[in-house]
C-alpha cells in the first residue's frame, strides 16, 4: 500500500462508532511481543476470531470491532501499548483469510500515530525518533533479520523475518493529516527467501540515518 492508502485505511478504521471506552487499558510490550502477538498479548499461533474477542474481553474488558479490513482495537476504545514507558496512539489490527471461524490468521500489525502541529513538528519528531529508533534497535538486538528497502518512498522501510514471520516496518510522514505513521505489519510464517532485502550495512548502523531531521 502507498502512504496515501495507509492514511485512508486508518481514517476509515478510526472513524468508527465503537468508541467511548472508560479506563484506558495499557499492555506492556517488547519488540518480541509486537512481532509475535496480536494486540501485543495474544499469541499468533493457532489463533482464531473467537480467541481474539474472548481474550481481549477477558484481559482488557474491551471489545474489538470488525470491518471489511480486519479486527481492530485502538486508543479511542481505551487501548494502549506501553513500550518501555512510551505509549503513542495506536490502532492494532488482525486480518484472517476468510470469514470462517477456523480461517487462519493472514496478517496482524500496528499503526502508531504521532500527530503534530506543523509549526512545532520537531517536538513530535523527537518522540517518534525515540520510539522508532528504540524499536529498531531492539529488533536488531533480539535477532530480527531485517534489510533496508532503499527504493521505498517512505521516510524509511525495513523488511525481513523474525521467528519465520514476515515483518515490514515503515515510517510515513502523512503531511496531509499532520502526523507520522509508524506501521508494523506481520504475516505469520510468511517469510520467503525472495522477500529478503539485503542491507548496505548492519541495521544497527543505519538506524540514525532513517530518522528525519527536525
Classify residue 163 by burial, with Cβ atoms within 10 Å: 0-12, 13-18, 19+.
middle
Residue 191 reports pLDDT greater than 80: no
Q: What tens digit of pLDDT does each residue of 112-131 get? A: 999 999 888 888 889 999 99
Vertex 59: Cα angle to 55 and 61 (nearest 5)? 100
Output the pLDDT for position 202. Answer: 47
CA 31 vs CA 60, 133, 150, 167: distances in Å = 20, 12, 23, 12
Contact 197, 147 (CB under 8 A): yes
Maximum separation of any 2 CA atoms in the chain, in Å = 49
* Residue of 155, 46, 138, 42 lying closest to 92 (CA atoms): 42
Which residues, 6+ apart, have CB-to-CB distance to 161 below 8 Å? 144, 145, 146, 167, 191, 195, 196
- Residue 103 is given by DSSP the state P
- Please report, for the chain, the start and end positions of each structural domain, with discontinuous segments joined by +: 1-214
Q: What are the grid coordinates assigned to 199, written together? A: 542491507
Do 180 and 127 contact (CB within 8 A), yes or no?
no
pLDDT at 19 over 80: no
Global pTM reads 0.85
Q: Which three cell numbers stand for residue 166?
A: 514476515
DSSP code for 94 = E
SS3 assignment, position 206: helix
**Cα–Cα distance measured from residue 82 to residue 27, given in angstroms and rounded to the nearest whole number:** 6
| 25-75 per-position pLDDT tens digit | 899 999 999 999 999 999 999 888 888 999 999 999 999 998 888 999 998
Q: How far is the C-alpha of 91 from the C-alpha of 199, rounded, in Å?
A: 29
Question: Does the pLDDT at position 84 exceed 90?
Answer: yes
- 74 burial (CB, 10 Å; 0-12 / 13-18 / 19+) is buried
Q: Do the Cβ atoms of 24 and 76 come closer than 8 Å?
A: no
* 163/205: higher pLDDT: 163
pLDDT of residue 3: 65
Amino acid at each position: 500500500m502507498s502512504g496515501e492508502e495507509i492514511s485512508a485505511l486508518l481514517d476509515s478504521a478510526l472513524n468508527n462508532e465503537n468508541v467511548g471506552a472508560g479506563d484506558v487499558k495499557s499492555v506492556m510490550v517488547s519488540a518480541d511481543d509486537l512481532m509475535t502477538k496480536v494486540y501485543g498479548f495474544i499469541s499468533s499461533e493457532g489463533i482464531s476470531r473467537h480467541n481474539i474477542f474472548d481474550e481481549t474481553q477477558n484481559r482488557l474488558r474491551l471489545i474489538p470491532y470488525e470491518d471489511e479490513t480486519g479486527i481492530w482495537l485502538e486508543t479511542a476504545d481505551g487501548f494502549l501499548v506501553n513500550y518501555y514507558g512510551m505509549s503513542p496512539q495506536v490502532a492494532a489490527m488482525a486480518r484472517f483469510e476468510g470469514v470462517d471461524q477456523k480461517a487462519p490468521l493472514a496478517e496482524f500489525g500496528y499503526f502508531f500515530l504521532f500527530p503534530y502541529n506543523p509549526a512545532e513538528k520537531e517536538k513530535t519528531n523527537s518522540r517518534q525518533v525515540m520510539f522508532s529508533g528504540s524499536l529498531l534497535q531492539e529488533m536488531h538486538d533480539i535477532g530480527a533479520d531485517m534489510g533496508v528497502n532503499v527504493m521505498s518512498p517512505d521516510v524509511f522501510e525495513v523488511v525481513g523475518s523474525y521467528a519465520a514471520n514476515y515483518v515490514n516496518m515503515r515510517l510515513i510522514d502523512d503531511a496531509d493529516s499532520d502526523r507520522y505513521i509508524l506501521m508494523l505489519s506481520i504475516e505469520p510464517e510468511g517469510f520467503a527467501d525472495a522477500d529478503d532485502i539485503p542491507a548496505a550495512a548492519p541495521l544497527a548502523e543505519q538506524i540514525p540515518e532513517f530518522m528525519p531531521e527536525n
